[in-house]
Amino acid sequence: MFRLVLLCAISLSSALSQNTDNNCLGALGSKSAAEFTRFDQDLRAALRTHDAKAMSLLVEYPLRVNDSQGGYLVPSALALQYKYDQIFAPRLVANVLRGSQQHVCNGTGSAYGSGEIWIRLSEGGLGVYVVNTADHKTKKLPSPNVVSCRTATSRSLVDHVDGDVLRYRSWKNSSSLFDKPDLEIRGGAEKREGTQGCAYTYWKFQNSALEVTVSQLGCFPDSNQPPLKATGDLSLKVLQSRTSETTEWCF
């Protein structure tokens, strides 16, 4: 798989070297150049600053990683935190960041560098779905994400700060992940419900105006099955209002 993807990227690079970002919009199915530019800037900034948490919101799960031993899937944001150094090794990052600003596109997406990183459009927006990397020693990262959530309108993170204090942060899809969050709440609670195969974890946060719940998937009736590739859901409830509650699927 690694050789196939890499060889395709190299051959496409010479044939499509004149591609511009706008040429890639059609291949990616992206709605606007601004959306593509924002994702591109965030991806490069996450690589440059070694920001594993930001990267977790730029990835489509499960992420496919191809290395010299074959390939494996990274199923979640938490798993990505612990494998981040192995996946986004310094040599890979350097190759991508020093590469051309132009992008190689084909029917499956767009490549960075010499095919090290591939992105495409899915339910959660633009995201990295394949990484072709070299082996690299993994080290444990401090304060890993608990969960990440990409919806049709926002990108959210739940993590720990100051020891065991739970923090919720959310950015609108039109905002950069390196801007101040559009919403931040500290001091949430982590709880579990259900039993056996239907057990799931959820995180609840509240301020003076909102109650926010980020939940993993449990069991659903046949009439209300989650979409393909959904990893959970995000619920926003305006306090002191019985009707103002919205729920979106996380990807």
Interval 181-197: pLDDT, tens = 999 999 999 988 876 66
Token couple for 217: 């998937």
pLDDT band for 219, please (50, 70, 90 cuts): confident
Q: Tens of pLDDT along 146-167?
A: 789 999 999 999 998 887 899 9
pLDDT at 35 > cutoff 60: yes
User: Mapping DSSP to helix (H, G, I), strand (E, B) and coil, where does residue 43 land?
Assistant: helix
pLDDT of residue 15: 32
Higher per-residue pLDDT: 22 or 210:
210
* Edge-to-edge strands, sheet with 232-238: 189-193, 200-206, 210-216, 232-238, 245-250
**Which backbone phi and psi does 130 adopt, to 5 degrees?**
-140, 135
Q: Tens of pLDDT along 105-142?
A: 776 788 898 889 999 988 888 999 999 986 544 344 44
Task: Indicate where the chain has its CATH 3.10.450 domain(s).
Answer: 2-132
- Terminal-to-terminal C-alpha distance of the chain: 25
pLDDT band for 34, please (50, 70, 90 cuts): confident
Report the amino acid identity of residue 149.
C
Is 2-132 a CATH 3.30.590 domain? no
Q: What is the pTM of this model?
A: 0.67
Least confident range from 66-75, 84-93, 224-233: namely 66-75
